[in-house]
Structure 1
């Protein structure tokens, strides 16, 4: 097992706040992707959680996804047609800057450990898109926040990703059953079900043991389940990890 700290939790509030805060170490907030909550809501979550509990959050979809994405059905922000044309694909403009400021404000209220930028499969590593990514993160006022990048699709090869992550100081967000994380430092694992992104899935005991074996080295590991049985699987995996700790 890893010598680094292991945090285990879920993507979203799949059960009551009290249960999740009491049982797990970390939670990735999903509401911020669709429509950021009020600052007072984020502040309340921080107050309800134990001091050592870690929050992460997904960046607002206005940054990563274009307005044609079906996820915009859950957007409540009143944007004009002109503003909607400026969204997504890491464009750097007044709309995406506003989206980042709102995301960062929630992150600060949560005292978040990281912000995740997850792109759709339709977002390919073209020269134009790579230039947009570099411009966006180059202009970003991130403060001390860790920024996690999870691109989807086979087109994002290691050769394309490695210099991008290194130059922009991004953490590689991965499903470890799909690919190995690149770079050094924090391992940010998101478990989406199997085969890839089949969320209606329950991980077997053998798969959880395999996941535990993947966590070698001295880096910290943040393990977030994002499948339909996320709470049960996170609970089972936490038991496996704790048994290992007790026996070491």
Structure 2
């Protein structure tokens, strides 16, 4: 079975909730909303609707990232050196607790950690990942790891195995190294402005596991339309 949706609301909420039964929340990455706002989303969605959450960027991204333009939490010059790259300190612990609170407000049990391409598989970085996940309380959530850049399968396998993570991928670029859940993020074969063809959606359908839970979240210019077309292609197999 497969859950299909978009990375973020691609349309007005009421239209989105009517069309799909899953959403990967993006606002939690940029600046986590108030939990009351997220609880309202949960209330407005169908009972069988599933939210997943993207972890706050203070955990994964350095403060020099252009995505920090959307961070509203004030950071001192010292604090700007303490965020990102899975550094473990009071600031990133608080960022995790905020992420977890968002997940709880949405009744979400899957949290994605997307890394910037600058986060390379050095010994220091791999140890930072292991140390971070040893230290936090996961709250019973399933944690997903999406590295970018020059990560080899052996590097990803080591990190996921040590820290109990699941590998999130764009299946048109690589296949997951972990078994079990399939968590696909469709960024566009040629980039964000790519529109998936019917043939490409059929290829994606063939990559959906018949024995494990599948999540397919589109993150391209035509995400709503492509997700709807893929949902129609899957028919009765859609959750």
Report the Cα distance in structure 2 between the residues aligned to 1:145 and 1:188, rounded to whole angstroms.
Answer: 14
- The answer to whether structure 1 residue 65 and structure 2 residue 58 are counterparts is no
* Equivalent position SS for 2:24: strand
Structure 1 alignment gaps of length 5 or more = none
- The answer to whether structure 1 residue 126 and structure 2 residue 122 are counterparts is yes
Q: How many residues align?
A: 238
The alignment's C-alpha RMSD in Å is: 1.2
- The answer to whether structure 1 residue 227 and structure 2 residue 220 are counterparts is yes
Report the Cα distance in structure 2 between the residues aligned to 1:163 and 1:219, rounded to whole angstroms.
Answer: 22
TM-score where L is the length of structure 2: 0.97
Which structure 2 residues correspond to residues 130-141 of structure 1 after superposition, within 5 A?
130-141=126-137
Flag as ranges the 4+ runs of structure 1 deviating above 3 A.
Answer: none
Matching residue of 1:77 = 73
Report the Cα distance in structure 2 between the residues aligned to 1:201 and 1:94, rounded to whole angstroms.
Answer: 40
Contact 1:114 1:148 in 2 (8 A): yes
TM-score where L is the length of structure 1: 0.93
Structure 2 alignment gaps of length 5 or more = none
After superposition, what is the alpha-carbon deviation per residue over 1:25-84, rounded to whole angstroms, capped at 9, x for unaligned? 210110111100001000000000111111011111100000110111111101111111
Report the Cα distance in structure 1 between the residues aligned to 2:178 and 2:63, rounded to whole angstroms.
Answer: 32
Equivalent residue for 2:22, pick from 14, 20, 26? 26
Contact 2:100 2:139 in 1 (8 A): no
CA shift, 1:21, in A, is 1.3
After superposition, what is the alpha-carbon deviation per residue over 1:163-196, rounded to whole angstroms, capped at 9, x for unaligned? 221221111110000001111111000000022x
Report the Cα distance in structure 1 between the residues aligned to 2:192 and 2:139, rounded to whole angstroms.
Answer: 34
Q: Quick check: 164-173 or 114-123, which moved more?
A: 164-173
